[in-house]
Amino acid sequence: MIPRSRRVGVVGSMGQLGSDVVQVLSESGRYEVSPLSHNQIDVTDRKNVMRVLTHGRFEAVVNCAAFTRVDECEDRPGEAFQVNALGAHNVASVCAELDALCIYIITDYIFDGVKRTPYMEEDTPRPLSVYGLSKLAGEYFVRNLCPKHFVVRTSGLYGVVGSSGKGGNFVEIMIRLAKERRPIRVVNDQVLTPTYAKDLAQKIKELLQTDAYGLYHITNSGQCSWYDFAGKIFELLGLRPDFGPTTTTEFGAKARRPAYSVLAHHRLRQLGLDDLRPWPEGLYAYLIEKGYLS
Residues involved in catalysis: 131
Give the SS3 label for residue 243. Answer: strand
Cα 230 to its chain centre, rounded Å, is: 19
- At CB < 8 A and 24+ separation, what contacts does 38-42 make? 38/12, 38/14, 38/65, 41/11, 41/65
Q: What is the CA radius of gyration of the chain?
A: 18
Give the SS3 label for residue 235. Answer: helix
- The amino acid sitting at 79 is E
Give the SS3 label for residue 208. Answer: helix
CA angle 48, 53, 59 (to 5 degrees): 165
Contact 289, 171 (CB under 8 A): no
Distance CA 64, CA 62 (A): 6
Distance CA 121, CA 24 (A): 26
DSSP code at position 122: T
Contact 212, 272 (CB under 8 A): no
Query: How far is the CA of 122 from the CAs of 37, 113, 225, 265, 267, in angstroms?
Result: 33, 15, 24, 11, 10
